[in-house]
Structure 1
Amino acid sequence: MDSSGMKFHNRMKSHSFSYNIFSMNLKELNEGLKLIETPQVGLKLMSEENREAGHQAHREINRLFHNFIASAKTLIEHTRIFVDKHYKDTPLHQAYAQKIKSEYAEDELCRFIQDLRNYMLHQGLPHSQMSISFTRGEPDFESTISLETEKLISWSRWSAFSKSFLAKQSKNIKLSDLVTPYGEKINSLYEWLDAKFLKHHSGDLKALEKLQIEYQSLEQEKSNKSSQHDASGAGASA
């Protein structure tokens, strides 16, 4: 239990809670958006006879979106603290810092999601709308929940990266166009980081495996001796 390998396992188990919260929020939000964006479902929810159900569905997506944004920021901070605390001055720490700097720190979508958390903290939930749109000449229609770009731009505290991101958006930003690619970026980062952790602790894990085999062998030996003792005692009684 005091081995480096077991301590690593315990640390990872503790840290996994933050990632699990983010992952489950992402999963639930994606499932909700997929349902809303199913044209037949969206059309039904936005019909007059189902107005209350439509309002409730919209409120639920707002709740899930809030939880998703909040858990994303929590995961980012917990991971930064985790790596700083346990891997400072190691190649793993250097590799993580470089990864964040080169692929995430200046990524416009990532910065926008982080800034959106601050927006929600100080301004409240961003205004969103559930709508149906048709394209002329096309038989199909699209049902979506989206944010209004113009209302977001009016906030004065966006970072330069977020301002650039917003400037490239159309009138409305589909939530799924934010959630899906951001989720993929974060999942990719944590798959990469897990691989780095395993490589960094490969020696510790091998040593732990050896200790576990030795422990199991000792336990089996004790069990065998106990069985032999019980058998000899039974023979003497007979």
Structure 2
Amino acid sequence: MTEQPGNEADATKSDEPTVLETWTSPFGIERDKRMAELQAMPGFRLNMDLAALGRAGHIMYRNAEELSKHATAYLTGRRFSQDVDDEFENELVRYLHNYLTSVTSLIDSQRVVMRHCWGKDSEFEKGAYTEQRKASFETGEAEFMKDLRNYCTHRAVPVPGVSTTFSGGRGRPSVIANRLTFDREALLEWDSWTAPAKAYLNAKDEQFDVGPVIESYVNTASRFFNWFVNEINERNAEVKAEFLAAGEEYKEWYEDQMGMNTPGFKKLFPDMAPRNRAERRGQRPQPKRTSKNNRKRKRK
């Protein structure tokens, strides 16, 4: 076997470890330091929590809107019960299930925000929050709707009954009334209703309308959500103001460091931010509207 000469030096060089040198600019060091200080502020976490809470609120509102729209299309339309197909019922129970779940998720999100602000079992949680929550959700109707979510999870999603009735007669206009109803006795077969929910059910008619119950619960949940957001904002006004001021200070520093406030930069990169809602949505600018009197004056 013959050895290949001449490659020992190359082999030695390739075996040596490679040392990479890195360098961070003073700007990068200062930027990271300032950003870390911002993220360590209570207002940063509060801002993130409120954004998450806002998304949970949006989900609840959209689910309520879809449920209401779907039910109203039948209740106020001229579509008879015999014309209702499986797709309508399937979508109805889907919207109902999504809405009930989103209310529970929203309350969980509220608890996260509250405990990040003041910890578990704070004075606010045990006082004003619990008082408002009980007033909103510990009524018989609200307990029924809350338990209905558990019913959907642990038993089945109830399918509302659909019916159409006619009224009127000789000399009177005919009136068509559509209804979406729950069967009280079928619901009571489940043995896990809480006492307030069961009492509420026992007081209802054998076939009771779904629409008013859902509408009332939607309004209750919306009022509670708005109350909570207002309380959090008011009780954390100083924290929010401090974080906002620090954020503005960081923005000014960053723009100065990047030369974004110089006349040359502004000439090269004019402010292209949309100035109205239509522009933010990507719509073309519309001509300014003028009254007939103004148009006549211009012609003169």
Q: Are the aligned partners of 1:25 and 1:67 in contact in 2 as well (CA < 8 Å)?
A: yes
- Residue 173 of structure 1 corresponds to 208
Normalized against structure 1, the TM-score is what?
0.81
- Residue 231 of structure 2 corresponds to 196
> Offset of 1:227 from its aligned partner?
5.6
> Offset of 1:135 from its aligned partner?
4.1
Deviation string 1:142-183 (CA, Å, 9 cap, x unpaired) is 112221112112222211111121122122222211211101
Deviation string 1:76-134 (CA, Å, 9 cap, x unpaired) is 33433442454235443231122123x03531111101111121222212242111123
- Residue 17 of structure 1 corresponds to 55
Q: 1:119 to 1:62 in 2, by over 3 A?
A: same
- Residue 85 of structure 2 corresponds to 54
- Three-state SS of the structure 1 residue aligned to 2:85 is helix
User: 1:7 and 2:45 equivalent?
Assistant: yes
- Three-state SS of the structure 1 residue aligned to 2:196 is helix
User: 1:77 and 2:108 equivalent?
Assistant: yes
Q: 1 CA distance for matches of 2:261 and 2:143?
A: 63
Q: 1:81 to 1:220 in 2, by over 3 A?
A: closer
Q: 1 CA distance for matches of 2:136 and 2:264?
A: 63
User: 1:126 and 2:161 equivalent?
Assistant: no
Q: Are the aligned partners of 2:161 and 2:182 in contact in 1 as well (CA < 8 Å)?
A: yes
> Offset of 1:29 from its aligned partner?
0.3
Unmatched segments (≥5 aa) in structure 1? 230-238
Worse-matched range after superposition: 193-202 or 9-18: 9-18
Q: Are the aligned partners of 1:39 and 1:141 in contact in 2 as well (CA < 8 Å)?
A: no
Fraction of identical pairs, as percent: 19
Q: 1:115 to 1:207 in 2, by over 3 A?
A: same
> Offset of 1:225 from its aligned partner?
7.3
Q: 2 CA distance for matches of 1:165 and 1:153?
A: 11
- Considering only aligned residues, what root-mean-square deviation do their CA atoms show, in Å? 2.6
Relative contact order, higher structure (CA 8 A, sep 6+): 1
Q: Residue type matched to 1:197 in 2?
A: I
Matches within 5 A, 1:86-235: 86-88=117-119, 90-93=122-125, 94-101=127-134, 103-135=135-167, 139-222=174-257, 223=259
- Three-state SS of the structure 1 residue aligned to 2:193 is coil
Q: 1 CA distance for matches of 2:205 and 2:167?
A: 16
Which runs of 4 or more aligned residues in structure 1 lie more than 6 Å from their structure 2 counterparts after TM superposition?
none
Q: Residue type matched to 2:67 in 1?
A: L
